[in-house]
Amino acid sequence: MGFVLKVMGFLGWALLSLIAIVPVVAARHRPWSHSKKVNISEEDLVTELAGQPKVEFSHYAGYVTVNEKHGRALFYWFYEASSHPEEKPLVLWLNGGPGCSSVGYGATQEIGPFTVDTDGSGLKLNPYSWNRAKDTYIFLHKWFNKFPTYRHRSFYIAGESYAGKYVPELAELIYDMNKHPSLHINLKGFLLGNPETSDADDWRGMVDYAWSHAVISDETHKIIKESCNFDKGDPWSNDSCSQAVDELLNQYKEIDIYSLYTSVCTNSTSSNDGSMQVMYNSKSKMMPRIMGGYDPCLDDYAKTFYNRPDVQKALHVSDDLHLKNWSICNYKIFREWSESRPSIVPIYKKLIAAGLRIWVYSGDTDGRVPVLSTRYSLGALELPITRAWRPWYHQKQVGGWFQEYEGLTFATFRGAGHAVPTFKPSESLALFASFLAGESMPSER
């Protein structure tokens, strides 16, 4: 595969890798007097990460300053490919939220090479590792200066959930800026899982999915259908709609909205900010923000591990100053986030016409951004079908279904929740490999 780069930024956290995966993490304001200007990647080499198993690849972590005036920087974690890294494409991974960590989620629970032990004391190998937009764009330019050997690699962006909004926005920015005589980024396409795409269609899909999966009653479903106009962007615009939508959200508080058929963590130390926390208000024009993902207990393990001073030092996070109370999501960003286009569909149309490779996938047991939301949103593109709906296979079993359109591939994962690689690691790795190779999903056993 390639390298992965994870960048933790204001919008969320990211992961950069070769594949290389790079997660980008939340923006950090650093004292200007402490800023470093050394563009040598070896200073970011991770050498003494607590509990790390022996590996044959190098990985790097550190900060890239994106606003010198205010001392704002983005944190990244970069994994080289486990074999032949000099031949692999580069992939940027971004988690959603907004304001949630690509390290805490993507790197630790989904696609990174390590997962955290249940007591938060160490790491174990993941056998299925996938070894704000202007700030992120600036970050990429400066990151390529730090790692110049990767400047001309094929570059892809991947992400899930709320990244469905800002991954296409970043791809559009790169595409537009590539027309100017500056550093050219060899963008080839993007891959999105259970992505927020169009607020109106996301709402309709969420409601219809909850009804079709017996989360809400016929009566609640009927009231929402008759009284809510999601195209206007405000489900709380009248009392009937507001009460019915609140009933839907209240029912989802009883289970894991991200994984309808799995148990919830009943002993989580993060119960006050756990996955069922719903944030919205009557003045908001956005979809309600619902924190967390599959198994809130996984969040606890990550929180314990990344709050360790020795781990922070190994990842070059804190300039030898222990950062206390790191959490998997930045709740201030989460609560106050308001910058959101109601629909990304126009960007899809633009980038499809530009010839980028675009794949979208959905875990079919996710209630937060369910498969129906994605189907409704993609339906608005009205793309010609080039290969009809059919199952795809992994290890002789049906992994899900897929359909190919002119310029876009859509696939489902059978029995997977919101964070698909957590539920179906082997299957998601197979899809990722097909995406990078530009090949169809296997349609024969």
Task: Respond yes or no: is residue 366 known to be catalytic.
Answer: yes
Catalytic residue among 59, 221, 316, 418: 418
Catalytic residue among 135, 199, 364, 366: 366
Distance, CA of 150 to chain centre? 23
Catalytic residue among 17, 102, 161, 362: 161
Q: What are all long-range contacts of 139-145, with beta carbons under 8 Å and residues at least 24 apart?
A: 139/7, 139/9, 139/24, 139/64, 139/66, 139/74, 139/76, 140/92, 140/174, 140/185, 141/182, 141/183, 142/64, 142/65, 142/66, 143/5, 143/7, 143/16, 143/22, 143/64, 143/76, 144/183, 144/185, 145/39
Task: Respond yes or no: is residue 161 known to be catalytic.
Answer: yes
As annotated, the active-site residues are 161, 366, 418
